[in-house]
Each structure stands twice: as C-alpha cells, then as structure tokens.
Amino acid sequence: MNARVLVFCLAFFLAAPLFARDKSDLLIMKNGDRITCEIKGLAGDTLYIKVDYILSTLSLNWSKVDHVESKQLFIVKTQDGLVYSGTLSTPETLGGRPIKIEVLESSEKKVELEKPQIIKMDETSAKFIQRFNGEIGMGFTYSKGNQSTQYNLNSDVNYPRERWSAALSYNSTLTSSTGSTASTRNEIDFNAKRLLRWNNWYYAGLADFLQSSEQGIQLQSTLGGGFGRYLKNTNHANISLTGGFAWQQIDYQKSSVPNTPTQNVGSALIVASAKLFYFNKTNLAVSGILLPALTEPGRVHFNLNAAYYVKLWSNLNWNISVYGNWDNRPPPGFSGSDYGSSSGLSWTFGNH
C-alpha cells in the first residue's frame, strides 16, 4: 500500500508543472472588477481561475461574470448537448440584452452562445499531457479496541475532447482486525462516451474489473456498451441514462470452494448516473449499473458507487463514499453482497 501511495503522489507532483500556462486571460465582473488570470474551467456554475499572486485556485460564480477574453483553447458544452472548441471572447451587446460568449473555432468560423446556455468549459491544449484532469484521494481509520484498521485509496483521470470523453478510475479498500482475515476490494473502471448528432444523445462503452474477498471473487470482468441520453444537463445537475448489453466473466477463489467453475454471463445493461452541484461547496455523484442476466434468466447483478464531496480549501476536498455489489444467485458457498463506506481527503488536479 505505501509503495502505491508514494508512486501516486510522486507522479502528481512531478506532473503538476506540465499543466501550467501564462495567466493572460481577462475577466470583467458585473460590479466592474477586472481580473487577469488563467481560466481553468467551468463546472457546476463555478468558474475556476488561477491568479499569479494567489497560491490557490479561485472559484467565481459564473452568473457574476460579465466579460471573458482568452486566447487559450477551450471545449465548450451547452445545455442542448452541443460542443464547440476554440478561444473565447464577449461581443458587445446593447443594454438589457443577454450576455453572449463568442467561441472562435477558426479564423473564419465563430459561434455566439448565450452565457446561461453554457454549462461546462474544459481548458484544453494542443499538448496531450495538458488535456487531463482528475483527482487523487486517501483515507485511513484505526481503532485500538479490536485493533481494527481500514484504508482506502481512490483516483480518477478524465480526458475530455470536443465530441467524446474518456475516464479511468481506481478504488481500493482494505479492512483488517484482530482475530479475522483481512478483507480487500479493488476495482478498476474505464468508460468512454461519444456524442451523436442528436442533442444530448451518445453511445458509450465500459470495462470494469473487480476483486472482492468478501464475495470470493478473484476477478470479475465486465465489458459492455450501448446508447444513452442526458436527461438533465445544466449548471446544477447532470443526469444520464444508458441502455445496452454486457458480458461478464467471473473467476471465484478456488480456496474458498474447490472446483468452482469460471462463470460467463450475458446480460442487458442499464446505467444510471447523476451529478448534483452546489456552487463551489459541495457536489454529489451517484452511479448505478443494473445487469439482468439474459443467459441465466432471473439472475441480476447490481453495482453502486456514490460519493459526496465538500470543499475544504483550494483543491483539497473531504469526501464520504459508498460502494456496493450485489448478486442474487452467487455459486453455493459464496456471499451475494459486498458493501461499505469510507471517508478521507482528496486533491484535484487539472482544470479545477
């Protein structure tokens, strides 16, 4: 565990200078304040910026911004699911008219968007390494009474582009106490989405790899894909639903119950996810995957991951997370569920 944590932290601090750029963007607030800065991104009605003479990332209310000028490339997303890429400026408008943001995609093509329609902006670059953003978190709990120890490690990396995005996450939990066998759970999840021509529709693929000592699962591999739609896509909520098909291969620990065969299951795939934001203070992310088996009618797998974040200072957050896996027809001798919760600190990097 210590070696893995050290590698994560070292990689982050070595990579941090690669994300820096000149702070030459201009913001004019509705009260007349002018700020020269680096715009990092927009999410949850919060505009994140860096200023030369302030160490931490600042958070501004997007509705209080009147004017934006930046020569940096941004990926701009709207409530309708449309995506644009280019530099930013604010054209002059007559008094009382809605403020618009102009996205200059090329020297000959520009698009004007009403500011309230813009729900997300991701700073991007021609340089590959500068397009990433994500988070690293850790937690630790110790109790003297029964010599109980629990640690959790989580990390995720996102790669946004104009019409598609990809994300990779890793979660690890270990619990041990005197007189009992240590319990471990490790999960790696990869997912990718690409927007279709129709507003807020997309197709997606996922790959999930799970190890759970509680359920006796040595490795559960899930591969799936399908089509989905953003049901709500605003500065305060992002809710999506995906449907498709998946294939699972489950290898159980032979030491628990000898001669347990590897199981292969074909299933329907239903994925629901929701992210709720409250200006620069808290956010809630919930994701559930339902897998009704087609090759074994009546068998159902369900996975749940939820996390609640509270911002403490700059890029430092406190979070509490809940995880769970359920199988209503596990092999004889194996548990059908594994669930728990953890809390700890996390550090964001990249655009936020």
Give pLDDT, residue 95: 58
Same domain, 87 and 233: no
H/E element holding 9? Answer: helix 2-15
What's the CA gap between 324 and 215, in Å, rounded?
11
Query: What are the structure tokens assigned to 146, written together?
Result: 């029964």
Same domain, 183 and 45: no
Answer whether 48's CB lies under 8 Å from 351's CB: yes
- Residue that finishes a domain, picked among 124, 146, 177: 124
Find the CATH number of the domain harbouring 297. Answer: 2.40.160.40
Count structural domains, the chain: 2
Q: Report if residue 7 sits inside a domain.
A: no
Same domain, 67 and 170: no
What's the CA gap between 99 and 89, in Å, rounded?
11
What are the tens digits of pLDDT across the range 219-272? 999 999 999 999 988 878 899 999 999 999 999 988 767 778 889 999 999 999
Question: Which structural domain, as residue segments, surrounds residue 53?
Answer: 22-124
C-beta atoms surrounding 235 within 10 Å: 20
For residue 8, pLDDT over 50 is answered with no
What's the CA gap between 220 and 113, in Å, rounded?
45
Q: Report if residue 50 sits inside a domain.
A: yes
Same domain, 112 and 138: no
Same domain, 269 and 292: yes
Same domain, 237 and 321: yes
Give 152's contacts (C-beta < 8 A, 6+ positions apart). 137, 138, 139, 140, 171, 172, 173, 174, 321, 342, 344
- Look up tokens 């709720």; give the residue: 276
Same domain, 255 and 145: yes
Please give the single-letter amino acid code of residue 245.
Answer: F
What are the tens digits of pLDDT across the range 226-235? 999 999 888 7
For residue 130, pLDDT over 70 is answered with no
- Look up tokens 């995720």; give the residue: 156
Q: Report if residue 26 sits inside a domain.
A: yes
Same domain, 292 and 160: yes
Q: Report if residue 293 sits inside a domain.
A: yes
Give pLDDT, residue 11: 47
Q: Report if residue 170 sits inside a domain.
A: yes
Q: Report if residue 270 sits inside a domain.
A: yes
- Confidence label for 5 from pLDDT (cuts 50, 70 and 90): very low
Give pLDDT, residue 1: 42
Q: Report if residue 228 sits inside a domain.
A: yes
Give pLDDT, residue 14: 42
Least confident of 152-156, 189-193, 258-262: 258-262
What's the CA gap between 136 and 169, in Å, rounded?
10
Q: Report if residue 15 sits inside a domain.
A: no
Same domain, 120 and 140: no
- Residue that finishes a domain, picked among 86, 107, 124: 124
What are the tens digits of pLDDT across the range 22-69? 788 999 999 999 999 989 888 878 898 889 888 778 889 898 998 999
For residue 187, pLDDT over 90 is answered with yes
Query: What are the structure tokens assigned to 209, written together?
Result: 């790899």
Answer whether 92's CB lies under 8 Å from 102's CB: no
- Confidence label for 120 from pLDDT (cuts 50, 70 and 90): confident
What's the CA gap between 78 and 40, in Å, rounded?
17
Closest residue by Cα to residue 115 from 68, 72, 70, 57: 68
Give pLDDT, residue 21: 58
Answer whether 277's CB lies under 8 Å from 294's CB: no
Same domain, 194 and 86: no
What's the CA gap between 134 and 169, in Å, rounded?
9
Query: What are the structure tokens assigned to 52, written together?
Result: 């030369």
Same domain, 57 and 178: no
- Residue that finishes a domain, picked among 93, 124, 155: 124
Give pLDDT, residue 17: 45
Same domain, 86 and 33: yes
The larger pLDDT score, comparing residue 175 to residue 204, is at 204
